[in-house]
Amino acid sequence: MTDSPSPATPTLGAKLAAEGFGTFLLVFGGVGTAVFASNLYTDPSPNAGVYLPVALAFGLTVVVGAYAFGPLSGGHFNPAVTLGVAAAGRIAWRDVVPYIIAQVVGGAIASTLLVLIGMFGPDGWLTGAQDAGFASNGWGEHSPGGFGMASAIIIEVILTGIFLLVILGTTHPERGTKFAGLAIGLTLTLIHLISIPVDNTSVNPARSIASAIYGGVGPLSQLWVFLVFPIVGALLAGFAYKALFDSTQKI
């Protein structure tokens, strides 16, 4: 009797390609819906009726990406998730920087292609979309509901932390579920429904960078909040999950 071959482990290159494509899908689908199918991001006046399709678009892209690319790389598509997962001991710290680079590049390519499409749109469309921030995150005058910086900081830490706890729980190697991708996507949808009115929802630095590079001076000047505080929330959740939920006892 011969031993069955062990499953092949994807190379780092394959993992990085999966992270790049997955983040591309997230930004192209989520930000694309925001700027093409919603007047919230092409007309500075807020309109609550457009929140649901944008929230669903971000959630659906994560569901699709998780099942398409998750088996290769873990399906992070988000620097904060990568750092939180590393804090929980699920991936090696040496892979964190390459993952983040692939995610940022994938997101930037997606937003660049959205701008390219907009260049051939109706007269003034691209200018209007960029004047409205190109679906960038922000506070104050860049917040749909006029919320301040403290509101953005608090909600990004809390919601990114919740997102990480769901990800770590549903993908646990022993207690996880085959419906993890669906649960994670629905959680991201809920997160967007909660926080679009506050700061247009980040919980993902790669998504924030991808929008801000075409959103103008205002979004770029506020970008640091959406780089720092999703990462803070993710790291807190990652370390907390490892300490609280991964402890075991001998029977």
The residue-averaged pLDDT of 46-62 equals 81
Alpha-carbon distance of 77 to 222, in angstroms, equals 22
Q: Where are the domains of the chain?
A: 12-243
Alpha-carbon distance of 142 to 197, in angstroms, equals 10
Q: What is the mean pLDDT of the chain?
A: 91
Tell me the two tokens of residue 59.
């959630």
pLDDT of residue 148: 98
Q: Who contacts 68 (Cβ-Cβ below 8 Å, separation ≥6)?
A: 22, 25
pLDDT of residue 5: 47
Task: Report residue 48's pLDDT band, with 50, 70 and 90 as the boundaries.
Answer: very low
Task: Report residue 2's pLDDT band, with 50, 70 and 90 as the boundaries.
Answer: very low
pLDDT of residue 39: 58
pLDDT at 244 over 80: yes
**Nearest alpha carbon to residue 46 among 119, 115, 143, 122:** 143
The residue-averaged pLDDT of 180-208 equals 96
pLDDT of residue 37: 79
Alpha carbon distances (Å) from 113 to 57, 58, 135:
17, 17, 14
Give the homologous superfamily in CATH for domain 12-243: Glycerol uptake facilitator protein. (1.20.1080.10)
pLDDT of residue 38: 65
In this predicted model, what pLDDT tens digit does every residue of 145-170 receive, in sequence order? 999 999 999 999 999 999 999 999 99
In this predicted model, what pLDDT tens digit does every residue of 59-83 receive, in sequence order? 999 999 999 999 999 999 999 999 9
Task: Report residue 249's pLDDT band, with 50, 70 and 90 as the boundaries.
Answer: low
pLDDT at 248 over 70: no
Alpha carbon distances (Å) from 198 to 49, 143, 245:
15, 6, 31
pLDDT at 21 over 80: yes
Q: Return the higher-pLDDT residue of 39 and 85.
A: 85
